[in-house]
Structure formats: C-alpha cells, structure tokens
Structure 1
Amino acid sequence: MTTMFGFSESCAKTGRATDNPILNETKNFLSDILLLLKVSWGSRRFGQNRFFHLVAKVLHADCQQQTFWERKLKLSHTFEILRCQGWLSQVPEEFARELVSRGTMHEVQRGTHVYIAGENQDGLRGIVSGAFAIEMSPFERGPNLLHAFRPGDWFGEAETFQDLPKVVNVIATRKSQFIYINLRELEAMIASDPGIWRWIGALASMHLITALGIIDDMTIRNPESRITALLLRLGGVRTCDNPQDPKPEIDATQSDLAHLTAVSRATVSEHLGRMEKVGVISKTYGRIRLIKTDGMRQSLINQNNLQS
C-alpha cells in the first residue's frame, strides 16, 4: 500500500534494522503514523481502543523511554534558551546548533554534584535552568565557595585544553537542568573543523575575565560596596542587566556572603537589612532577590567617585 505521502507501508514497517538509532526510530515512527492513518480511514478491525492506543503512542511514544522526537523537541527548546544568553550567544549559530544537537539533557535536585574535582574530564556542561555553586580548593584550603553558575553559563573547557582532571566542584543549589556534551562528541566536532577551538577558547576567555573581575571586586575597600558587587556578580548582572532574568535570585546564605567578602556575618546582615528596607533587594532564608540592579551598580559608581 502506498499512502498519500508517497511512502510504502510495507517499507516503513518491515525495513531492516540498522546500526543508526535515528534511522530506526524514524522508521518506527513512520510505521505508527501509517497504521494510524489506515485505521482512521475506515478500518474497523482494530477497534477504538487500538486507535487511541496508537494516538497515544505517536504523541507520547514509549512512556518508558525518551524518544528521538521528544529529545529533538527538548534540545530545540534548550537551544533557544542557551542562544540568547552566555557563551552560545557570542558564537556562530551553526556551531551552537551543532553543539546542542550532540548533547543530552539532565535534571538534578538541590545538593547534587554534577562535576567533582579530581575526576577525569568528560566534556562540557551548559546550564539551562536553575543554579549551581562552584567550589574550588587550589591550594591548602577548601573546598570553598567561589562563584555561581546560572542559565547560559558553561564549564569544562579548561580541563579540555590541558587534559587535566576536573578542577572544581559544581553543585546544584536548587532543582536545575543542564545539557551535557560528551568529550567524544566534542572531539568529533573538532576533528571535522579544527577552527572550533576558537570558540572553546572564547569560553575560556570569558571565564578568565570573570576571574579577574572577582579579584578586582575583592580590592574594593568599602565593605558594603564589596557586598553589593558580590551580589551583582552572583546574580549574573555585575556590569549590565540580563533581559532573560531582570530580577535574579541568588542561592546564598549570609555566611556564604561573609566568606566571599572577608567580612563578618553581622556586617553582611546589617547591610542586607538596609538594602531590603529601601526596596533594593528582598530576602528569604538562603535566597536573595535583586530588585533594583541599576541602583546597585550606581551605588558602586558613587562610592568609587567619593574615594577618588
């Protein structure tokens, strides 16, 4: 039987399995579509139950397993999120699409380690939703909280450059999603186009600039300004607002902020209280929402001018 789409039903249903999982999944999908059309065009032998079973199978595939089509839809949505912020917003679209198409999506709960210092490097990870804390122990202390990753952030490139074990711990601070690009997939892309190293280097450059900014903020003499600068950095809005997240929320305790700014917890609490009173931030236990980020940045400029 040849359908209105020009496909042979027997070909779609009985084609040999191949080593290509995408091709096999496509054949199975077409087979179900063709059978569904056949039933809907008047065949009664399957009955209504069979018909609705086929509808469910086509729309949701095997409920026990993520299908190729579901994965494609999820990755397409993921691409749109990652393309409008962070690293992938600054690279060629063709490269960004190819990278995301090779990834797998993962959802984790608060407290899950998705990257552990000392383990073998295994690829890149990009944050799609949620937030992650970064811990590092480069010398005799630690691990200590260093920074936070937000949607659009990627990591893992430094170890790829030097073939190093992982150098940081990355832990989810809330329910979060990330995309994982296996090292073999990344190496395959680079083998086909060595120029891709340039875009991996761009990610490393972004992280270097962030690190230098952290060092610079730690030299701010005024403790309140140092805390304000930290809040902006952890919110991903140190230099400008993020249209995708205009009022970012930070997962950090007052003890975390005190550690990262080398001040007492009492100093942090006092400063946060003043900021909340004038509506610059709002806070709950372990979380701080930045409401007036422009005003926070302007306060840093004003304080710097006073000291100049």
Structure 2
Amino acid sequence: MEFLEAAQTLQENGWLSHTPVAFQDAVLSRATFHHYRAGEVILRCAQPGNAIVGLAQGCLACQLPPRVDASSLVHLFAPGSWTGELAFFCGGVRRVDTIAYTDSYCMRLSKTNLDKILKDDPGYWQWCNLLTALTFDVTLMTLDALTTFDATARIAKTLKRLAIISEKTSLAKTSQADIGAMAGLSRKGAHDALKRLEQMGVVRCGYGTVDILCLDALEQVIQGVKSKA
C-alpha cells in the first residue's frame, strides 16, 4: 500500500468520511505514512499522547496493561478507525497499548501538526469532538457486552460491535480465545457460545476466522436473550 491509497481509504471509511473535504486534506497532508509489523507497539500505555493513528490496511488491537490472570485484549480496529485521541486531546498519558494485530499500514498525525490545523481554523474542533464521540460509542457497546450475563448474547454483542465498526460481516483473522477475551469469557466459554451461534446458522467459524452470516439474525439472538431476562 502507498500513501495515496491509504489516504483514500481513510477518506472513504470511518471518522474522516464524516468530515468536510477541507478537514480531511488538512489532516492527511500533515500525517506521515507508516508500515507496522504484526505485534509491534504503535502507541504505548503510560506514554504522553503525542499522536493519533488512523488505520488504512490491516488490523490494530487495543490492549489494557498486561495482566497475569486474564488476557488484556479489549478491541480490534478495522480500516478507517483512528485511535489515541483521549490522551492526545486531554494532554495526559495513554491508558492502553495500541499494537499491530496484523501487518498494518497507518497514517500518524502528531499533536504539533494538529495544533497547527486548529490554530488555522478553530472551527475544526467540532470534527475532533466527533472522533471522541465515535470512540465513546464503541466504549458503550463494549460495556453493554461485558455487563451481559448470558455468554451467547455476550459473544453476539461483541461480534456485532466488531462488524459495525468494520462495516463487514467477515471479521479479521481472530482466534476464538481473542474473541473470548474481548467478551470477558474464557476460551472454552467463547468456543461454546460460538458453537451455539453456528448451530443456529448465525455465524460460520473456520480456522482463525468468524463470518457473520446475517446481522439481523445476530440481532435477533441478542433481543431474544433480552426478552427472556
């Protein structure tokens, strides 16, 4: 992937696709293009928020600080997603690590360059606020899944969140253990829940892959479990 292709992907997907062309141009003209290898730390926890990163190709993972009792994986980012804005806008330190889940191509915008953009046009702050709102929405979806008692519904909500964010029903190559971690379940718990969803004809599981066969059916599973509560 080259710079122009990455820029086009970010203009057509996610946060920037909801902003004016002038703002898109201001951001992308000041961003730098990077290739990260799988497993490489892109934004490190407890470090100053001096940049945000937009994913053009591949998959990024959001992880809490390492724990000995459970996986720290929280969320997977699809192309079009941007991350790192909380510490970036607030001036604090990062609460999570962002790593390359797979080989990934990204745009990186430094705080210095964003400050220049906002100095030239303070009205652009509304589009920065939009990024924060989009992230907050993902956070609420994550909390909704994690506070759901039924394991099948919890997995269904986690899959729905990943599908909505990626705007795809074929998810990035993801292990059942990682899906379980994002749903707050053990590997066995995730496997059993995915098996139930597969038997219901809602998903198809392969080696390291999960395909959602019907988002409407996934929603019906979620609503069905809700109605039994």
CA distance in 2, matches of 1:143, 1:275: 23
Q: Summarize the alignment of residues 23-102 of structure 1 with structure 2, pairs less than 5 Å apart.
A: 74-102=2-30
Q: Which residue of 1 aligns with 2:31?
A: 103
Offset at residue 115 of structure 1 (A): 1.1
Q: 1:109–1:252: structure 2 CA closer, same or farther, 3 Å change rule?
A: same
Quick check: 2:74–2:181 contact (8 Å CA) kept in 1? no
Pick the aligned partner of 1:124 from 43, 52, 61. 52
Deviation at 1:279, TM superposition (A): 4.4
- The aligned runs of 1:113-262 (5 Å cut-off) are 113-137=41-65, 144-236=72-164, 242=167, 245=168, 247-262=169-184
Contact 1:250/1:289 (8 A) holds in 2: no
Q: Given that residues 6 and 106 in structure 2 are in contact (C-alpha distance below 8 angstroms), is that contact kept between their aligned partners in structure 1?
A: no
1:272 aligned to 194, 203, 212, which one?
194
Distance 1:236 1:188 in 2: 33
CA distance in 2, matches of 1:264, 1:117: 25
Tell me, yes or no, if structure 1 residue 281 matches structure 2 residue 215. Answer: no
Question: 1:143/1:296 Cα in 2 relative to 1: closer, same or farther (>3 Å)?
Answer: closer
Tell me which amino acid in the other structure corresponds to 1:292.
C
Number of residue pairs matched by the alignment: 229
Report Cα offsets for 1:132-165 as digits up to 9, x if no partner. Answer: 1101249998881111111111012211222112
Measure how far apart 1:288 and its partner are: 2.3
CA contact (8 A) 2:52 2:110 kept: yes
Name the counterpart of 1:305: 227
User: Secondary structure of the equivalent of 2:49?
Assistant: coil
- Verify the 8 A CA contact 2:59 2:102 in the aligned structure 1: yes
TM-score under structure 2 length normalisation = 0.87
Q: Deviations 1:214-248 (Å, cap 9, x if unpaired)?
A: 112222232111111112213335xxx82xx3x33
Paired with 1:189 and 1:300, the residues of 2 have a C-alpha distance of: 43
Distance in 2, matches of 1:283 and 1:235, equals 15
Q: Distance in 1 between matches of 2:69 and 2:84?
A: 22
Distance of 1:142 and 1:223 partners within structure 2: 17
The unaligned stretches of length 5 or more in structure 2 are none
Q: Which has the larger radius of gyration?
A: 1
Structure 1: stretches of 5+ with no match in the other structure: 1-72
* TM-score of the pair, normalised by structure 1: 0.66
Distance in 1 separating the partners of 2:213 and 2:107? 29
Which sits farther off after the overlay, 275-284 or 200-209?
A: 275-284
Q: Which amino acid aligns with 1:232?
A: K
Shift in CA distance, 272/124, structure 1 to aligned 2, threshold 3 Å: same
Q: Which residue type is aligned with residue 183 of structure 2?
A: T
8 Å CA contact 1:173–1:251 kept in 2: the answer is no
Partner of 1:290: 212
**Which one of 160, 170, 185 corresponds to residue 263 of structure 1?**
185
Cα-Cα RMSD: 2.7
Q: Determine the C-alpha separation between the residues in 2 that align with 1:234 and 1:142.
A: 21
**CA distance in structure 2 between the aligned counterparts of 1:223 and 1:276, rounded to whole angstroms:** 14
Partner SS state of residue 107, structure 2: strand
CA drift of 1:186 comes to 1.1
